[in-house]
Amino acid sequence: MSNPPSTQRESNRLISSTSPYLLQHAYNPVHWFEWGSEALIKAKEEDKPILVSIGYSSCHWCHVMERESFENDDIALIMNEHFICIKVDREERPDIDQIYMEAVQAMQQHGGWPLNVFLTPEQKPFYGGTYFPAKNWTNLLFQISKAFREKRSEIDQSAEDIRNHLQTSDLNRFAKEPGAEKFDTASLDKMFTIIESRFDKTRGGIEKAPKFVMPTIWLFLLRYYSITKNKEALHMVSLTLRKMIQGGLYDQIGGGFSRYSVDAEWFAPHFEKMLYDNAQLMSLYAEAYAVTKDQHFKSTVNETVEWLTREMMHPEGGFYSALDADSEGVEGKFYTWTWEELTNALPKNSITREYYGAIQEGNWEHGRNILIRAEIDEQIMTRHSMTNHDLEQHVNLDKMKLLEERSKRIRPGLDDKVLTGWNAMMIKGLVDGYKALDDPMYLDLALKNISFIEKYLINNGKVYRAFKNKHSETEGFLEDYAFLIQAYASLYQVTFNEEWLRKANNWTEYLLKHFYDEGEGYFHFSSLSAEKLIAQKKEIFDNVIPASNSVMARNLYHLGILLDKEEWKKQAMVMTSRLVSIIESEPSYMSNWGILFSEITKGMAEVVIVGEEAEKMRREFHQLYIPFTLTLGSQTTSSLPLLQGRELIEGTTKIYVCFNKTCQLPVESVSEAIKQIA
């Protein structure tokens, strides 16, 4: 992706980076620094403004700006003379990205990437924006440099005002003091009503474009349906999930989802594929399959895993971060087809072009077709007098031909760094797939993945953020630790290996010591011992990735039950109750909090399975959709508090259904246990 040495250019400081995104810029004529003391000290010594340019490897407009400006010798000369230039990979350093994204939005500018922010030598932002065409960028560089020299006091004052804004915690505005907040279905009804009012009743999803997936919204609605039996909630989830896999957002040939749809129809994706989206969508489609038994949802999970293992997997079991939208400098070229390309790849009598909505002039740009499921299968079956089995066989054979043909193309760029948090999310996705589909391959992949994390990303009593040939020097953020704890707790519940719970417990205690703010009662995004930036943020809003504080609050609640730590349960409830008003009024951006709210409202059943057939019964139990349960068990003996007194009688297996540590009479079948839970 970066200019190779054959261009005769010398590499810059980025050549020693572990970030594929920074390595893409390693042969730019810009004298890029990584974020660190060398650049920051130099800015102070030379009294120059700092330019921080933030992006990520699969970002289309980041590539465009690099080609137009950062590879241009004349523009690089201006940047090098007047600025200290720092390149940041937002995926390796989300802490820096969070701060300066918020700063740009505070300046009434649109956020996005590439994010280009100008700072004083003290790291205080005073101007910023996203993509700039080369001419505009050149003009801006001169204007900023001139203003910095001639209007320094105004710039310093403006930068100080923005710094003060950044240091104001979101919790000051949105968190209330603990009071008499109730956890009840009336609040859940309010959340549902607001989501319903924003729902696209024709195409699914939230009614706007571009259209992001936001998996936790639909995971919340599945739980709302489980509590209330409101059929509209289930319809909203099912419609959204069906429409997503019928559109171009889903890779019809190779599996896996793109990051978002540029339109409201899920038709034209922004073609980059991110690990974190697909991890959460694994969980979502697996849960939806457990509820509905819709075979399309099951095949979506299977195809996504096939893509994951084929294109995204490190030989030792870690998963890479992202696939680029572009190949050969063209967005979507790898994934789209001309009519001629389809005709040459498929048999003459194939109906697959029709099945995937392709037309001779192309259904997208430049005569190319985005493959979509334009019609429901029944319409095509009727038109061609085919059975469901015949159609499925026909399309699957042709899909293999198209996948083979596509594999000959120049591939999109691969961001092959392994991020702890995103991999831990995928472990949860694989565990959920294993539970719903009862396929041991999913568990094998999850166990390989956790082994990779433990081998390469945990060292010296710390979790590290990223790995590419070696782990980065950056300690993991709250996101990394929180998702790792969630992964350990998930693995315990499908293996009954108590070592996973012990590790979840230990990392939770680490976070309480090194990330927790006693004053506000929530967790910092960065460790208390991390490099001091101009603001220390706490993440509370759920977005395409759930907020790290909401993930951690759920961890505390679940582990409080599994490990019988009442203080952790209470802590999770206080964290949630203080945000009730914003959870109720903005459920789309508090949807993971909404999931926890529903769990506290309903209460979590402790399902304890003990005896020789514990594993068999657990597998049977987990194929059902029973969201408000935590499973524990053993075939032998256990040290866990909730398993004490659950006697093991040779030749028998018993299931104890408990609420708040009070157990009903043991039963000997999953169906009897389900009745007790109900």
User: Which CATH number covers residue 43?
Assistant: 3.40.30.10
Q: Using an 8 Å Cβ cutoff, are 249 and 259 in contact?
A: no
Confidence label for 58 from pLDDT (cuts 50, 70 and 90): confident
Q: What is the mean pLDDT of the chain?
A: 94
- 429 and 522 housed in the same domain: yes
Answer yes or no: are the C-beta atoms of 424 and 453 closer than 8 Å: yes
Q: Is 533 helix (H, G, I), strand (E, B) or coil?
A: coil
The pLDDT score that the predictor gives to residue 9 is 81
Q: Give the C-alpha separation, 462 to 477, whole Å.
A: 11
> Which pLDDT score is estimated for 42?
97
Residue 7 has pLDDT above 70, yes or no: no
Query: Residue 8: its pLDDT value, please?
Result: 64
Q: Are residues 447 and 528 in the same domain?
A: yes
SS3 for 608? strand
pLDDT cut 90: percent of the chain above it:
89
The pLDDT assigned to 18 comes to 86
59 falls within a domain: yes
- Higher local confidence (pLDDT), 175 or 372: 372
Last residue of a domain, one of 558, 587, 602: 602
Residue 1 has pLDDT above 50, yes or no: no
Q: Which helix (H) or strand (E) holds 400?
A: helix 388-406
**SS3 labels along 466-491:** EEECEECCCECCHHHHHHHHHHHHHH
Residue 178 lies in a domain: no
| Distances from the Cα of 237 to the Cα of 93, 241, 324, angstroms | 33, 6, 28
Q: Is residue 117 in a domain?
A: yes
In a domain, 175, yes or no: no
For range 197-212, the mean pLDDT? 95
Angle between helices 275-292 and 215-228 (to 10 degrees): 20
Q: Are 295 and 374 part of one and the same domain?
A: no
What's the pLDDT score for residue 179?
Answer: 66
**pLDDT at residue 43 tops 90:** yes
**Residue 2's pLDDT band (boundaries 50, 70, 90)?**
very low
Question: In the chain, what is the greatest distance between 2 CA atoms, to the nearest angstrom?
Answer: 86
Helix (H, G, I), strand (E, B), or coil: what is residue 321?
coil
Indicate whether 372 belongs to any domain: yes
**Domain boundary, last residue among 356, 378, 408:** 408
Same domain, 616 and 598: no
Whether 506 and 453 share a structural domain = yes
Task: Indicate if 488 and 570 belong to the same structural domain.
Answer: yes
What is the per-residue pLDDT for 5?
45
Q: How many domains does the chain have?
A: 4
Q: What is the mean pLDDT of residues 570-583?
A: 96
589 and 615 co-located in one domain: no
647 pLDDT higher than 70 = no
- Tens of pLDDT, residues 507-549: 999 999 999 999 999 999 999 999 999 999 999 999 999 999 9
Q: Model confidence over 62-118: pLDDT tens digits? A: 999 999 999 999 999 999 999 999 999 999 999 999 999 999 999 988 889 999 999
Region 348-353 average pLDDT: 93
Measured in whole angstroms, how far is the alpha carbon of residue 1 from the centre of its chain? 24
Name the pLDDT band for 637 (thresholds 50, 70, 90).
Answer: confident
Q: Which domain holds residue 380?
A: 335-408
Is residue 27 located within the same domain as residue 145? yes
One domain, residues 34 and 117? yes
Are residues 69 and 211 part of one domain? Answer: no
| Same domain? 319 vs 366 | no
pLDDT band at 3 (very low <50, low <70, confident <90, very high): very low
Same domain, 546 and 589: yes
* Residue 154 pLDDT class (50, 70, 90 cuts): very high
